[in-house]
Amino acid sequence: MEKTLPPIPVKRYFTIGEVGELCGVKPHVLRYWEQEFTQLRPMKRRGNRRYYQHHEVLMIRRIRDLLYDQGFTISGARNKLQELVQTERDKRKAGEVPLEGMEAVEIDQEEFDAAVVLQQALDTNPPMLVNRAQLVLLRRELFEIRELLSFGR
């Protein structure tokens, strides 16, 4: 069932229908998974309408992968998910800061170092060089800020 899932748009909340489309599962399956996976707790508003946040959409995709692609049972997927969450907690306690999405950005260390050197060394920088260096630095800083903000979740 290797089906390419659409990219997750940048928004704060997603309805159950949107999450179903983003994750390739039907809404009744999402409601069932809420009962089976305690980590999955969407916010409920008027009329028990569910609103999922970005990290919950990622978790649902992970659950879907465990169940549909890797062949885990519900119980096995629940245990594996708990294991993954515990591993992330252990890494954070050890001082390691995993930056989700960094592999997609692919900031090469040499490129980063070159950008820093350019920014520091050139007083009369052509605008394109300064902008490129600043963008590389800003991108890295934004990922660090995002990780700090998501730490309390």
Report which of 135, 150, 140, 128 is spatially closest to residue 58, judged by C-alpha positions: 150
Domain ranges, ordered by start, for the chain: 14-93, 102-150
pLDDT per residue as tens digits for the range 78-93:
999 888 888 888 877 7
pLDDT per residue as tens digits for the range 96-152:
655 554 444 444 555 555 555 555 554 444 555 556 666 777 777 787 777 777 765
What is the pTM assigned to this prediction? 0.60
> Considering the domain 14-93, what is its CATH architecture?
Orthogonal Bundle (1.10)
Instruction: Find out whether 67 and 30 touch, Cβ atoms under 8 Å.
Output: no
| 43 CB-near residues (< 8 Å, 6+ apart) | 13, 50, 51, 52, 53
